[in-house]
A and B are shown apart, each in its own frame.
Chain A
Amino acid sequence: MKQASVPVWVNVGLIPLINILLAFAVSGLVILAIGENPIEAAGYLIYGAFGYEEGIGYTLYYATNLIFTGLAVSIAFKAGLFNIGGEGQAYIGGLGVGLLCLWLDSSMPFIVILPLAVIASAVFGAAWAYIPAYLQARRGSHIVITTIMFNFIASSLMVYLLVNWLKEEGRMAANSRTFAENAWMPYMHEILSPLGINISDSPLNGAFILALICCAFIWGLIWHTRWGYQLRTLGTNATAAQYAGIDNAKVTIWVMLISGGLAGFVGINEIMGVNHNLLLNFTAGYGFAGIAVSLMGRNHPIGIILSATLFGALYQGGAELAFEMPTITPEIVVVIQGLVILFSGALEHMLKDRVEGLFIRKAA
């Protein structure tokens, strides 16, 4: 029982903290190499993300996408699967939302459209995850490769659909027409103002509430149901799961369906919440960012909310930073994201074993 002697806060608090600090330190060196002051840059970043109400709104809006994709990656991780296809699933999920809104926005009220849109995004996202899941479960094709391939297939499919079928007549850009307003997800400032709470306008919308509901749902599902136990057993030891009578193939397929559905919810936030039309590349790398979020959040919904907020802050603060320091691009955030994946994912053992060793020795 080596694990038992390591205090919990080391695993859930200290190690992620050291990882993120390492990532920040290396990014600081990059900023230093560019000839800017990293401390000053961090100041702009934090101010941009949390310094004023609108900034916080943006931070949480970005975080909404990241909670969805982070949860998607983490539930698959929990079952020992690597869903690298969040990008494509989110893309297709958005297609589902878009098609539904284009179809019903002139005939149905918001209260009917909302649940249908949520279902559409989940079903479309899940459907896109189904084929890789089936192939992994029944035919043993490696899910990492198939989901990567499906990202590219999704991207081509969307270009084809938007350019040939959904594009608004007489416009150059490959966008669909804008939905009627009854198919728009209300903004957070609109939801809160009848309650007497006034916040600044920002793209933060009702999808954020959906994200929090998803977190609670996933937490219950993974840790408090029989099926969640099967899922975790499969992830910990597939052979043991098999001998315990768990239908690994079935669990694999269902996990991936849920994962794809969660990723599909990005469409609710982006298409229904902010863009109000179907467009190209609205996923903007959120699917991949979900990997960093889930690693950083240690595959736990609470951790994912925290790390999604952190990354949301980096997105928003990064935009602010680029504005204040023109020599720095918002892409510096992508560098930090990559470094977080490197330190908390790929080099996990480098740190973990040492830090844990430190505490085990103390306890002994």
Chain B
Amino acid sequence: MFETLILILDATLRVSTPLILAALAGLFSERAGIVDIGLEGKMLGGAFAAAAAASVFGSAWIGLGFAIIASVGLALVHGFACITHRGDHIVSGVAINTVVAGLTITLGLDWFSMGGQTPALSGDERFFAITLPFADALADVPVIGLIYSELISGHNILVYLAFALVPATYWVVFKTRFGLRLRAVGENPHAVDTAGISVAFIRYRAVIICGVLCGIAGAYLSTAHNAGFLKDMSAGKGYMALAALIFGKWRPVPVMFACLLFGFLDAVAVRMQGVVVPGIGEIPVQAIEVLPYVLTVLLLAGFIGKAVGPKAVGRPYVKERA
């Protein structure tokens, strides 16, 4: 029982990682007032770029670099549309998701002739698990040994990075001058403008950070969690990250817990396949899979707490001119 629990939690960490990265990406963007439905597309684009570059250059790190470049490129398109040209944030996000869904398959087929996939990655082309010091030595210690060697040790570097980025994001957003301005731009851009700070520049920086994080999330999908790019491999994770962002009420630590909750449900759903629960019977996998979305709707409806986003989110800022 305890071992099963540890294994589920272990899977939870792995499934939650891309959610955390993408949700933090969304946090930077939305805190600055830019709605980002395009997390999904940027993640997918990043995943494709990472797998393609990793297989060509033989290095997962180069893959990560390309993922970030691709994702930031898409983020800048979003910024260009929403910040410079006052476009509708949702429409722009949908456009990015659609373009990426088509483009990854089109380019993938041309470059690798494998029906839109990239070649299977192996060795240095992937991020491999890191065994933390003493993990093997401690493995036999009861309880703590298992927790340390299975749950904490043995993940790839991007998993640790994702969790490290949670306090980092908290620090940047709530404890630095940049973070204060970022939040101000999302709440009241006029005030920021009056103080002589460029609203557009801050928003662009937020969008770029968002791109970087989505790129890492994408690289995780194709070069760490899986071994190669598959068609539509982000499979709605970007939207789920968005749900987690709302569920965590735009705050880094609660957002992380929301991602862990959603990841946990995912890990449980896999385990529950065909399992008969005494007294209830077999729980359909779909019922568990659907919970993150149902919970988010309930939260948005105000039945479990209230989710209030940044005030100026989704509104273009038009500078007043005399």
| Docked CA distance A333–B102 (Å) | 7
CB-based contact A145/B290 at 8 Å? no
Q: Which of B78-86, B158-166, B167-175, B185-193 contacts A (4 or more CB under 8 A)?
A: B78-86
Bound together, the chains give a CA A152 to CA B289 distance in angstroms of 9
With A35-B110, A135-B300: A334-B95 Cβ-Cβ less than 8 Å: no
Question: Given the complex of chains A and B, what is the CA–CA distance between A135 and B306 in angstroms?
Answer: 13
User: Could you tell me if B301 and A139 are in contact, using CB atoms closer than 8 angstroms?
Assistant: yes
Known: A35-B110, A156-B290, A329-B116. A346 touches B297 (CB 8 A): no
The residues of B that contact A348 with a CB separation of less than 8 Å are: 85, 87-88
Which listed residue (A34, A149, A159, A160) contacts B297, Cβ 8 A? Answer: A149
Counting chain A CB atoms within 10 Å of each CB, the highest count among B86, B91, B100, B284 belongs to B91
Least distance between A93 CB and chain B CB atoms (Å)? 19
A221 to B16, CA, bound (A): 47
| Cα-based distance from A141 to B77 in the complex (angstroms) | 28
Scoring A35, A341, A346, A350 by chain B CB atoms within 10 A of each residue's CB, the highest score goes to A346
**Pair B106/A346 contact, Cβ less than 8 Å:** no
**Given A334-B101, A347-B87, also A142-B110 (CB < 8 A):** no
CB interface residues, A 154-194, toward B, < 8 Å: 156-157, 159-160, 164
> Chain A residues with Cβ under 8 A from B91's Cβ?
82, 291, 295, 341, 345-346
CB-based contact A338/B97 at 8 Å? yes
- Chain B: CB-nearest residue to A340: B95
Given A139-B301, A144-B37, A350-B85: A339 in contact with B284 (beta carbons within 8 A):
no
Q: Does B60 reach chain A (CB closer than 8 Å)?
A: no
B106 touches A329 (CB 8 A): yes
Q: Which residues of B contact A345 (CB under 8 A)?
A: 87-88, 91-92, 94-95
The answer to whether A341 touches B297 (Cβ under 8 A) is: no
Please state if A335 and B293 are interface contacts (CB–CB under 8 Å).
no
Report B11 CB to chain A, min CB distance, Å.
20
Residue among B105, B110, B309 with the highest chain A CB neighbour number at 10 A = B110
Closest to B294 in A: A153
- In the complex, identify which listed stretch (B2-10, B215-223, B239-247) lies at the interface while the others stay far away: B239-247
Q: Is chain B's interface secondary structure helix, strand, loop, or mixed overall?
A: helix
Instruction: Tell me, in angstroms, the Cα distance from A337 to B293 when the chains sit together.
Output: 27
Residue of B nearest to A164 (CB): B284
Tell me whether B105 and A329 are in contact (CB under 8 A): yes
Contact in complex: B293, A152 (CB < 8 Å): yes
| Nearest opposing residue in chain A for B82, CB measure | A346
Contact A149 B96 (CB under 8 A): no
List the A side residues contacting B296 at CB < 8 Å. 145, 149
- Knowing A331-B102, A335-B103, A345-B87, the reply to whether A145 touches B300 (Cβ < 8 A) is yes
Given contact pairs A84-B90, A141-B302, A149-B293, A332 touches B106 in the complex (Cβ within 8 A): yes
How far is A149 from B240 in the complex, measured between Cα atoms in Å? 9
| Bound CA span A146–B297, Å | 6
Decide: A335 and B297 in contact? CB cutoff 8 A. no
Chain A nearest CB, measured from B91 CB (Å): 4
B98 at the interface (CB under 8 A from A): yes
In the complex, A345→B78 CA distance in Å? 12
The answer to the question of B56 belonging to the interface, with a C-beta cut-off of 8 Å to chain A, is: no
Judge whether A149 and B99 touch: CB under 8 Å.
Answer: no
Residues of B close to A268: CB separation below 8 A: none
Once the chains bind, are B99 and A339 in contact (CB under 8 Å)?
yes
Question: Is the C-beta of A349 less than 8 angstroms from some C-beta in chain B?
Answer: yes
Q: Judge if B194 is at the interface, Cβ distance under 8 Å.
A: no
Q: Bound complex: CA of A106 vs CA of B33, how far in Å? A: 56
A76-90 with Cβ < 8 A to chain B: 82, 84
Report the bound CA distance from A336 to B98 in whole Å: 9
Bound: A148/B246 CA distance, A? 13
List CB contacts (< 8 Å) of A1-40 with chain B: 30, 33-35
**A342, B81: Cβ atoms under 8 Å?**
yes
Chain A, 307-353, CB within 8 A of any chain B CB: 327-329, 331-339, 341-342, 345-350
Determine whether the beta carbon of A335 is less than 8 Å from that of B301. no
Contact B98–A145 (Cβ < 8 Å): no
- A342 to B85 CA separation, bound complex (whole angstroms): 12
Which of B97, B102, B236, B246: most chain A Cβ within 10 A? B102
Q: Does any Cβ of A come within 8 Å of B197's Cβ?
A: no
Mask, B60-92, CB within 8 Å of A = 1, is: 000000000000000001001110011110111
How many angstroms from the CA of A144 to the CA of B106 in the assembled complex?
A: 29
A254 contacts partner chain B, Cβ-Cβ < 8 Å: no
Tell yes or no: A61 within 8 A of B by CB: no
Using Cβ atoms and an 8 Å threshold, which residues of chain A touch B37? 84, 144, 148
Q: Which of A142, A156, A339 contacts B289 (CB 8 A)?
A: A156
Note all chain B residues with C-beta closer than 8 A to A140.
302
Identify 29 residue pairs between A and B in the complex whose beta-carbon atoms are under 8 Å apart, listed by A's number: A35-B110, A131-B297, A141-B300, A144-B90, A145-B242, A145-B296, A145-B300, A149-B243, A149-B293, A149-B297, A152-B293, A160-B287, A288-B94, A328-B106, A329-B105, A329-B116, A331-B105, A338-B95, A338-B103, A341-B91, A342-B77, A342-B92, A345-B88, A345-B92, A345-B95, A346-B81, A346-B85, A347-B80, A348-B85
- The 5 A-B residue pairs whose C-beta atoms are closest, nearest first, are A334-B102, A338-B99, A338-B98, A346-B92, A335-B102
Q: A295-B91, A332-B106, A338-B103 are in contact. List 13 more A-B contacts (CB 8 A).
A: A30-B106, A33-B107, A139-B301, A141-B297, A145-B296, A149-B297, A157-B286, A159-B286, A329-B105, A331-B105, A341-B91, A342-B99, A350-B85
